[in-house]
Every structure is written in C-alpha cells, then in structure tokens.
Amino acid sequence: MEIRPYETSDADEFWELKRAFELGLGAGTGGDDKAEVYEGKLTEEYRERYLDWVDRCVGDDERCVTVADAGDGLAGYVFVLPEELAFIWDAAVLNEIYVRPTHRGTGVADELMDAAVSLAADQALPLDRLVLDVDRENDRAGAFYERHGFEHWGEMVAKKL
C-alpha cells in the first residue's frame, strides 16, 4: 500500500470513493430522508465543482488530499483543509477520511490518519487542534477517532435553509 498525495489522474477513482463516503453518511447514520438528501446532491455539476475545489486545495498544499494506493486502485483517502482555511475553526480541519470496506481493518485508515495529523502539525494554527465533524450515531467512526486520541470538543448544531 502506498500512501501518497492525490494526483489529478486519480480524479475518477477518487470521485468513486467520495460518492461512497457521502452515501455512507446518508445511509449509515440516518433514515431514508437523510440518505435521499446525500444521494440527491451527488450530481455531475457537484462532481465537477468538488473536484475543482480539490485541485485548488491541493494547489495550496499537495498533502491536503492523501490517497492510499493499493496498486490496483485507490483503497481510501484523507482530506485535510489547507492551512489558509484554518480560520474556519481556528484549527486544522479533517474534512473527510474514507476507506473502502474491503480495506477496513488492514491499517490503511491508521496510515491515512497519521498523514492527516502530520500535515495538521505542520500548519500554523490559532489553536493547536485537529478537528472534525462526526455523526454521533456512527459508532465505528467514533471508536476510530477515540483510538487516535480525539475527544469531544463542543457540539455542532444545524439549521435547514
């Protein structure tokens, strides 16, 4: 398994992983309504805008998106926002981490998390923290983050627009 920076040539496979990440958020931690919302946003227009944004972030720091390359395809990825966006939370932001189900339990997620923490430690931050948003109903993700030393720090609330 090679842990390396994302390349533009990874875009199609990366998008497959992103789709799986989004569909998992909808299906795994909510009812049909939540699943429909997440699935509904995954349009071709969203794909193009998202991949353009990824390219801009990677242009700021190639380590922002790190992939796990299994040799026969991408096994997963981690996306840490570039330092210039640290003021969103006054901290480094782990935007997304995803590993294909077939590669879970193999240490890939740990390697990706190590890459995320390394990047975050190199950022000049108002607060020395790496933050992320995790659904409290996602017990598997919660256990993974706890194992990596994450602790609850506030709580996010949302209002539908």
The C-alpha R_g of the chain, in whole angstroms, comes to 15
Q: Look at residue 83 in the predicted model and tell me its pLDDT.
A: 94
Contact 7, 77 (CB under 8 A): no
- Other Cβ atoms less than 10 A from the Cβ of 150: the count is 17
- Other Cβ atoms less than 10 A from the Cβ of 63: the count is 19
| CA of residue 19 relative to chain centroid, distance | 12
Identify the H or E element spanning 60: helix 44-60
Confidence of residue 13 (pLDDT cuts 50, 70, 90): very high
Q: Look at residue 157 in the predicted model and tell me its pLDDT.
A: 77
pTM beyond cutoff 0.85: yes
pLDDT tens digits along 78-106: 999 999 998 888 999 999 999 999 999 99
